[in-house]
Amino acid sequence: MAKDGEKNEWKEFIWNPRTREFLGRTASSWGLILLFYLIFYVFLAGLFALTMYVMLQTLDDHKPTWQDRLSTPGMVIRPKADETYEIVYDIQNTETWDMYAQALDRFLAPYNNSVQSQKNDECVPDKYFVQEDSGDVKNNPKRSCQFNRTILEECSGINDRYYGYQEGKPCIIIKMNRVIGMLPGKNGQAPYVTCGAKREDSDKIGELMYFPPNGTFNLMYYPYYGKKAQVNYSQPLVAVKFLNITVNEDVNIECKINANNIPIGSERDKFAGRVSFKLRINTMN
Amino acid sequence: MQLCKLLNTLNIPEYNLYLCLFIFQTEHKMSVEEVCRKYQTDIVQGLTNAKAAEYLIRDGPNALTPPPTTPEWVKFCRQLFGGFSILLWIGAILCFLAYAIQAATEDDPAGDNLYLGIVLTAVVIITGCFSYFQEAKSSKIMESFKNMVPQQALVIREGEKVQINAEEVVAGDLIEVKGGDRIPADIRVVSAHGCKVDNSSLTGESEPQNRSPDCTHDNPLETRNIAFFSTNCVEGTARGIVICTGDRTVMGRIATLTSGLETGKTPIAKEIEHFIHIITGVAVFLGVTFFILAIILGYTWLEAVIFLIGIIVANVPEGLLATVTVCLTLTAKRMAKKNCLVKNLEAVETLGSTSTICSDKTGTLTQNRMTVAHMWFDNQIHEADTTEDQSGASFDKSSVTWLSLSRIAALCNRAQFKAGQDSIAILKRDVAGDASESALLKCIELSCGSVRLMRDKNKKVAEIPFNSTNKYQLSVHETEDPNDNRYLLVMKGAPERILDRCTTILLQGKEQPMDEEMKEAFQNAYMELGGLGERVLGFCHLLLPEDQYPKGFAFDTDDVNFQTDNLCFVGLMSMIDPPRAAVPDAVGKCRSAGIKVIMVTGDHPITAKAIAKGVGIISEGNETVEDIAARLNIPVSQVNPRDAKACVIHGTDLKDLSQDQMDDILRNHTEIVFARTSPQQKLIIVEGCQRQPPNLHTTSQQTIVAVTGDGVNDSPALKKADIGVAMGISGSDVSKQAADMILLDDNFASIVTGVEEGRLIFDNLKKSIAYTLTSNIPEITPFLLFIIVNIPLPLGTITILCIDLGTDMVPAISLAYEAAESDIMKRQPRNPFRDKLVNERLISIAYGQIGMIQALGGFFAYFVIMAENGFLPSRLVGIRLNWDDRGVNDLEDSYGQQWTYEQRKIVEFTCHTAFFVSIVVVQWADVIICKTRRNSVFQQGMKNKILIFGLFEETALAAFLSYCPGMDVALRMYPLKPTWWFCAFPYSFLIFVYDEVRKLLLRRNPGGFGTEKQTITEAQKEKNISLG
């Protein structure tokens, strides 16, 4: 009895034929509510759009308002193996290193001398390439300096298509994240990259070779003016070639930027001002 | 007892149980010898020690089994796994599960899920412990009532009188009781000397009753040869054989019966359950929907589980139940200060939704002490001051007649003050003597000074005490004047008897013959005072002529040898138990609050009606059927019962009423007095009241009924009622145990304060919940957008917990301190079926409107920070996969800059902090708009200091969480640039303005339908919120 009543009550709640109410309201009542919410939400959306518009107006087109989180630029290596920073391959097994070579090919393609000379200027080296705006007149678009692939010499992949992977002397390319307006190095001293083994691996790393020499990022590539103003900016690169690294063992390597005006990043961030990766070359011999 | 249970399951009305309680007792009908045989005891020697020990082992100690208590750990677990806790546990378990999967599949699993799981577990356990301790605290107060001194009993065993612990008394024991003792068990009286017992706690009869060895009634409750456990022996001595001990005593059976009666859930418990169901439903629905959606969108299982956790955490208002508990506790404390001790926290609100109060008369509505109310002398009625604090008007005391009257009242009076009370106010002193004489004693002491002195001056020579055949009391005294050797005879008694003995009357100090005119005047005065429900006494005196009764005359009171007629009538004095001062006001408040007050009393209908009129339970101008009949001079049967709003129902009539007739009476009379009712009938009345629809507009059956009671026999009614109110001073322990609330001062007015507080807390809880629920939307929406449009997460689970358990707590609690918006005692009681704590209208406002504005405020802050750091909104959409990829350390922003994982995560967490701060900012406006439901804040004012403190506290807490060094590691909250605090300000302002406009429209269109379309839905939505 009681259950039947309950059931009917529910049925009536969903659709009450007597009062023509659906879920306790008539169609017109539902309509008014929906209309109200429609108007209300349209109004809110408009208001939100307005505040967003005002906020966007306050932003500079070429430089973000805050850069304090980027005081220590991040560093990244190439080639990049999926998610982890591990480069592991087998000399005898072509397939295992071929993808690295291909990745580097793709990565370096925009640095081909032909492309560079076409898009970018030759600049005066060892000097910041400052292109100030004169007052309100924007000096746009800004020009960029050439970074020719040949600068990387043995690691350019021009002479050695496989970047030394085949011989167990792999090249790793290091780049420093772009930060608008950053002027690394002080007193004309260019920032440079040094790599070393971590912890107990120091005797396994062997000899290294940097391209360009000393692993410097030339000052002429700074400052960066942002992708809007400086469309063809070529990020400078440093290549490290491992000449006689111990094979068949994990070697943990950390490369870091050396510049007297770049603060050492926080302990937590493993990629600010430094980059770590693992290199393991397997061979049968 | 088995049979009783059977009857109970057969759904036979509870009052029948009373009958069955006593069916099995037959000892009262047996002869003493039979009883002795039955218990193998001896009428002189008592039990042997061996036998007693044997019985003790067989029957157990003579004590009531305490009501079954839930073990502490069960209570604790209930707090730990009830309500939202289950959802949070699921969240925590999912967290651990997610971490376990991560740990199994990844080398270096992120600890986030583990930490979150730990935090969630901690939250559940801490809030669980909090609620548990709150509950334990209130139950501790109750335990303090149980601290009773172990009782002693005088038993005769093996012919020797021994004083033993009452617990060791066994059936068959021969025991002795004397005046002042508590009866240690149910006993069959075998001999008695002037023994009187006070059965009021059991039967409600306030007059002490004689006890003698003879069986006078078939009903064991009525017969004189049984004295009951836990009643008191008032005077005399008695010897009896114990027939029942412990739970088998009548009292024990009632106690067991009471504990067996099911008590329904309190309204607020139902409301909270309803509300938990809604929220849980929403959480589960959203969680499952997005879980499935996430799987469809191609997220991994692990990610989907993490989303599920986030949605659960965002949906559950973690702090709300604690807030509700705190609010109720605060109100309970406030009520305790006003003499309402609430045993069960939830009962705080029950009182607020009460629509009928069944109140005792004696002690609750009245002062429980006879007081002289009127006097008639010099052919004029004088009014005495009956107020508790003697603030009332006084009468002319200069008349010589008054001096004579007061002298009679003082001399012809056996009552006297107990010693050592000189410092106590006269009205509060204890008196040895019966109620009427005490009243006279106090009255005279108040108006004429020391009665003792007067009695010393007028030495008593002879006295005839009151007896029921004479109906008068007489004493002979020496006069004050030492030269006057006459004796003064003073007499008081039933007025008509006194008048019969008088031939003269004292008027203005002069004796005049009693003529017909004076007799008529006397009759009128007597009728008038009697009609007021007062107990009237007549007074007369005579100076005995010296020639007949010279000094030293031997007055013989047994064989009266002196003149007892041809006396001089002096006046009448009438007494009543006057209503408490605050009661008429309180009853008036109840009436305007739509609460029906029903008086239930054992008194005579006339007295009951008089008091009911006096306190306003029967309001002025309302007539009973009898009144109408008297006014129109027609027989009662010709009066249309519908014409009478008030009625006085006699207990004997009540017995014969069918359920339908009862319903008819309760429905069609607004002012009802039940007189001459036995406490057993109280249960019928309560049930009848509960059956009635709460008000005229609904058909749903059930009224919230509050009942007061003090006797043991009231306890089933107390338990049956939605809220049982026991009396702190006069109440028995069993009634206190059965009640939900205890009036520490036994005063009806305290109930009304309770009602007021109860209504206020319902209103304020509603505000608290509206406030807390609103922030749920800005907590859920970030997750939804995170999943749907793939933006970096705008608000994290930790920050959600910071809001729910941190910043929202104090403002939500502060709303409990909010003053009432309008006169809450001027509206109808809440309809428990329609006016829910949380209804779709509240959800619509909190979730659909204010919550949405809040969410926009939070998102605005989020987009501002992202944009100012280089990630414009256009870049953010769809960035999530790369953003949350630890391997991507050169993610490009809108300006071409590149970010490492950690760098952008700091920005993300800064966004969480800003979103959190924005919610705090919009919650400022929310708490201000939640203060009122109809009134503008400008009308209501900002007088709630706790709320102002709450505003500062939440802001300070937010600033602390943002700026305190180390928070970046502990909670991943980062310092905000000062400007980011202002992002949500426009939205906060919008909330305030929007709601002020909404309330303005609401006040303009109280009916709900305005001209604008927007107003219609608006007002419709609001109509019920404001009512609820």
Percent over 90 (pLDDT), chain B: 17
Contact A70 B890 (CB under 8 A): no
Residue A87 lies in a domain: yes
pLDDT digits (tens, 9 = 90+) for B601-623: 878 888 888 888 888 888 888 88
The answer to whether residue A35 scores a pLDDT higher than 90 is: yes
Report chain B residues whose CB lies below 8 A from the CB of A59.
Answer: 867-868, 872
Domain-located, residue A46: yes
At A37, the pLDDT band (50, 70, 90 cuts) reads: very high
Domain-located, residue A69: no
CATH number of the domain at A260, please.
2.60.40.1660
Tokens representing residue B703 in the block: 């009224």
β-pair partners for B568:
B504, B541
Judge whether residue B555 has pLDDT over 90: no
Same domain for A275 and A168, yes or no, is yes
Q: Which residues of B touch A266 (CB under 8 A)?
A: 902
Facing A226 at nearest CB: one of B849, B895, B1020: B895
A40 touching B, CB under 8 A? Answer: yes
Task: Check CB contact of A13 with chain B, cutoff 8 Å.
Answer: no
- DSSP classification of residue A219: G
Element spanning B906, H or E: helix B901-930
Mean pLDDT of chain B: 82
Q: Residue A134 gets which letter from DSSP?
A: B
Within-domain flag for A37:
yes
Q: What's the token pair of residue B483?
A: 């030269």
Q: Do B903 and A70 touch (CB under 8 A)?
A: yes
Residue B424 confidence class, pLDDT cut points 50, 70, 90: confident
Both tokens of B732, joined, read 């028995």
Task: Give the range with max mean pLDDT: A27-31, A52-56, A155-159.
Answer: A52-56
Q: What average pLDDT does the segment B8-36 reach?
A: 59
* Domains identified in chain B and CATH numbers: 1-52+170-244 (2.70.150.10), 317-334+756-1022 (1.20.1110.10), 355-366+581-746 (3.40.50.1000), 371-576 (3.40.1110.10)
CB contact under 8 A, B899 and A47: no
The answer to whether residue B751 scores a pLDDT higher than 80 is yes
pLDDT, position B579? 85
Q: How many domains does chain A have?
A: 2
B198 forms beta bridges with B232
**Between chains, do A48 and B1018 touch, taking CB under 8 Å as contact?**
no
Task: Report the C-alpha gap between A68 and B544 in whole angstroms.
Answer: 116
> Could you tell me if B718 and B707 are in contact, meaning their C-beta atoms sit under 8 angstroms apart?
yes
Q: How many helices (H) and strands (E) does chain A have?
A: 5, 11
Write out chain B residues lying below 8 Å of A70, CB-based: 897, 899, 903
Identify the band that residue B31 occupies on the pLDDT scale cut at 50, 70 and 90: confident
pLDDT of residue B709: 81
Is the pLDDT reported for residue B6 higher than 70?
no
| Centroid of chain to Cα B980 | 50
Closest CB from A47, A63, A69 relative to B906? A69
Q: Check pLDDT > 60 for residue B1007.
A: no
pLDDT (average), residues A201-216: 88
Whether pLDDT at B1018 is above 70: no
What band does B206 get if pLDDT is binned at 50, 70 and 90? low
A20 and A81 in one domain? no
Residues of A in contact with B856 (CB under 8 A): 44, 47-48
Looking at the structure, tell me whether residues A37 and A147 fall in a common domain.
no
Indicate whether A138 and A105 sit together in one domain. Answer: yes
Q: Mean pLDDT score of chain A, rounded to an integer?
A: 87
Write out pLDDT tens, residues B571-587: 999 988 888 888 888 89
B517: helix, coil or strand? Answer: helix
Q: Give the long-range contacts of residues B485-488, CB within 8 A, separation 24 or more.
A: B485/B546, B485/B550, B485/B551, B486/B543, B486/B544, B486/B545, B486/B546, B486/B549, B487/B461, B487/B543, B487/B544, B487/B549, B487/B553, B487/B555, B488/B411, B488/B458, B488/B541, B488/B542, B488/B543, B488/B544
Q: Contact A74/B885, CB-based, under 8 Å?
A: no
Q: Within a domain: residue A64?
A: no
Give the pLDDT of residue B25. Answer: 65
In angstroms, the CA B278 to CA B776 distance is 13
Best residue in B898, B911, B995, B1018 for a mutation probing chain A (most A CBs within 10 Å)? B898
Q: Rounded to an integer, what distance in angstroms lies between the CA atom of residue B336 and that of residue B754?
A: 9
CA distance B738 to B741: 9
CA B433 vs. chain centroid, Å, equals 34
Most confident of A10-19, B304-313, B781-790: B781-790
For B337, other C-beta atoms within 10 Å of its C-beta total 10
pLDDT of residue A64: 92
Q: What is the pLDDT of residues A259-284, one digit of tens each?
A: 888 888 788 888 888 898 889 999 88
How high is the pLDDT of residue B191? 86
Mean pLDDT of B78-106: 84
pLDDT over threshold 80, residue A11: no
Question: Based on the domain organization, do A239 and A277 belong to the same domain?
Answer: yes
The least confident of A22-36, A40-54, B533-547, B855-869 is A22-36
Decide if A204 is inside a domain.
Answer: yes
Residue B724 reports pLDDT greater than 80: yes
**Mind listing the pLDDT tens digit for each residue in B909-944?**
999 999 999 999 999 999 999 998 888 888 888 889
pLDDT at residue B17 tops 60 = no
Domain that holds residue A10: 2-57
Q: Per the domain annotation, does A132 fall within a domain?
A: yes
Cα B343 → chain centroid: 8
Whole-number pLDDT of residue B12: 39
**What letter would DSSP give residue B850?**
I
pLDDT digits (tens, 9 = 90+) for A107-132: 999 999 999 988 888 888 888 888 88
pLDDT of res. B61: 82
- Nearest-CB residue to B852 (from A44, A55, A269): A44
Q: What angle do CA B473, B474, B478 make, to 5 degrees?
A: 150
Assign B1009 a pLDDT band (cuts: 50, 70, 90): very low
Task: State which residue of chain A sits closest to B984, comparing Cα positions.
Answer: A51
Dihedral pair phi/psi, residue A83, rounded to 5° = -95, -30
- Note the pLDDT of residue B139: 66
Q: Cβ of B1001 under 8 Å from any chain A Cβ?
A: no
* Residue B1010 in this model has a pLDDT that exceeds 70: no
Same domain, A202 and A145: yes
* CA-wise closest residue to B682 among B731, B718, B736: B718
CB contact under 8 A, B890 and A180: no
B288 Ramachandran zone, left/alpha/beta (phi>0; psi -120 to 50): alpha
Distance CA B1028, CA B827 (A): 11
Between residues B143 and B211, which one has the greater pLDDT?
Answer: B211
Q: CA gyration radius for chain B?
A: 37
Closest CA of chain B from A95, distance in Å: 23
Query: Which of the four pLDDT bands, split at 50, 70 and 90, describes residue A41?
Result: very high
Smallest Cα distance from A285 to chain B, Å = 30
Segment of A212-216, B150-154, B718-722, B1004-1008 carrying the highest mean pLDDT: A212-216
What residues have CB less than 8 Å from B320, skipping those under 6 apart? B84, B768, B769, B772, B773, B804, B812
Work out the pLDDT band at B697, boundaries 50, 70, 90. very low
Which of B900, B911, B980, B1012 to mutate to test binding with chain A, by most A CBs within 10 Å of its CB? B900
Query: Is pLDDT at B60 greater than 50 in this prediction?
Result: yes
The predicted-structure confidence for B165-185, as pLDDT tens digits, reads as follows 888 888 888 888 877 677 888
Query: Does A69 sit within 8 Å of B907, measured CB to CB?
Result: yes
Residue type, B119: V
B868, B906, B1018: residue with CB nearest A59: B868
Active site residue B360: yes
Candidate from B868, B869, B1016 with C-beta closest to A32 = B1016
Do A159 and A239 belong to one domain? yes
d(CA B802, CA B809): 10
Lowest mean pLDDT among A60-69, A227-236, B65-74: B65-74
CB neighbourhood size of B655 (10 A): 11
User: Which residues in chain B are contacts of A252 at CB distance < 8 A?
Assistant: none
Catalytic pick among B360, B378, B603, B740: B360
What are the E-state strand segments in chain A? Answer: 15-16, 21-22, 25-26, 75-78, 86-90, 171-176, 192-197, 208-211, 237-242, 251-258, 274-282
Instruction: Indicate whether A140 and A200 sit together in one domain.
Output: yes
* Mutation for A interface: B876, B895, B977, most A CBs within 10 A: B895
pLDDT at position A16, please?
75
Q: Does B856 touch chain A (CB under 8 A)?
A: yes
User: Does the residue A65 lie in any domain?
Assistant: no
Question: Residue B257: pLDDT band by 50, 70, 90 thresholds?
Answer: low
Residues A238 and A168 in one domain: yes
Q: Let me know whether A112 and A237 are in one domain.
A: yes
Dihedral of the alpha carbons of B27, B30, B32, B37, in degrees to the nearest 10: -80
Mean pLDDT of B53-70: 78
Reported as type and span, the H/E element at residue B742 is strand B741-743
Determine the residue of chain A that is closest to B841 in CA distance.
A33
Give the pLDDT band of residue B342 (cuts 50, 70, 90). confident
Which residues of A are less than 8 Å from B859 in CB distance?
48
Give per-residue pLDDT as tens, B115-140: 888 888 988 888 888 878 877 776 66
Return the pLDDT at A7. 65
- For position A83, what pLDDT does the model report? 66
| B900 touches A at CB < 8 Å | yes
pLDDT over 70 at B150, yes or no: no
Residues 865-894 of B with CB under 8 A from A: 867-870, 872-873, 885-887, 889-890, 892-894
| Same-domain pairing of A89 and A229 | yes
Whether A179 and B898 lie within 8 Å, measured CB to CB: yes
Shared domain check, A158 and A96: yes
Q: Going by C-beta distance under 8 Å and a sequence separation of 6 or more, which residues neighbour residue B295?
A: B301, B304
pLDDT class for B5, splitting at 50, 70, 90?
very low
A26-30, B569-573, B776-780, range with the lowest pLDDT: A26-30
